[in-house]
Amino acid sequence: MATVPELSSEMTAFHSDENELFFEVDRPQKMKGCFQDLDLGCPDESIQLQISQQHFNKSFRQVVSLIVAVEKLWGMPVSCPWTFQDEDLKTFFSFIFEEEPILCDSWEDEQLVCDFPIRQLHCRLRDEQQKCLVLSDPHELKALHLNGENINQQVVFSMSFVHGDTSSNKIPVALGLKGKNLYLSCVMKDGRPTLQLESVDPKQYPKKKMEKRFVFNKIEVKSKVEFESAQFPNWYISTSQAEHKPVFLGSNSGQDIVDFTLESVSS
């Protein structure tokens, strides 16, 4: 094997024992090239660069040492078939840097969704019999026919588009009453899924990631919409065939009304 010429003082300043990890001479070769200093006048006196397949614990100092050495070698005149190019630096990257996965909790992390803007739509809902929804007491909605001046009694919903399981025909929304700190929510009472109006803190709601009991899957069926509970799949916001009955959570058995007409109103 050819001898290595004595390093100049400038090269010695960047030399350390750690650099030997990058210039092993007795390990399997992947790439080899010679860089000859023509000033030495001897073609046998050259520097041989060998890349080892073995991985080492890399340090920033080693990386800097390698880059300095490559720059020095690149600037030396060469008289061999293999010419060192910029692209050859890529060969070193897999030996210096290790790729590591970045782990996160995605949508489960509240911080990832708290900055999302909340899109809202103000609207009124009527069932397919044209019954309107009104607030009959502080925590109960009822469906009844209105006309004339009574039409203003129907509630206006603030429909918020929130985080949830979105599909081609289901859009997750939350339904709050405009001007009131009340949201429709679904809970289990007496062993049955139940619809209720729940008071909330106006400083905390609405928010992009609503608790699941507040979330409904808005489903469009032709010109009508349905609202399926995300907490209780296959249970829907429903009205009775009879007049002046409370709005409730039904199982879409065919006897109750689950289809509504949505009318947008200006904010």
Whole-angstrom Cα distance, residue 6 to residue 27?
A: 23
pTM higher than 0.95: no
Residue 220 in any domain: the answer is: yes
37 Cβ partners below 8 Å, 6+ apart?
5, 45, 46, 76, 77
Q: In angstroms, rounded to a whole number, what is the distance separating the alpha carbons of residues 237 and 193?
A: 11
In a domain, 115, yes or no: no
Cβ(120)–Cβ(160) below 8 Å: yes
**Residue 36 within any structural domain of the chain:** no
Percentage of residues in the chain with pLDDT exceeding 90?
Answer: 46
Domains contained in the chain, number? 1
pLDDT tens for 62-96 read 777 777 777 776 766 655 555 556 666 566 555 55
Flag whether 71 is in a domain.
no
Q: How far apart are CA 224 and CA 164, in angstroms?
A: 21
pLDDT at residue 207, rounded to an integer: 93
The range of the structural domain enclosing residue 213 comes to 120-264
CATH number at residue 146: 2.80.10.50
How many percent of the chain have pLDDT more than 70?
61
Asked if residue 62 is part of any domain, the answer here is: no
pLDDT tens-place string over residues 183-229: 999 999 999 999 999 999 999 999 999 999 999 999 998 899 999 99
Instruction: Give the pLDDT confidence of 97-135 residue by residue, as tens digits.
Output: 666 655 555 444 444 445 567 899 999 999 999 999 999
Helix (H, G, I), strand (E, B) or coil at 126: strand
Residue 187 lies in a domain: yes
* Average confidence score pLDDT of the chain: 76
Lowest-confidence range among 13-17, 103-107, 261-265? 13-17
Look at residue 179 and tell me if it is in a domain.
yes
Question: Looking at the domain assignment, is residue 259 inside a domain?
Answer: yes
Closest by CA to 78, choosing from 51, 50, 52, 39, is 39
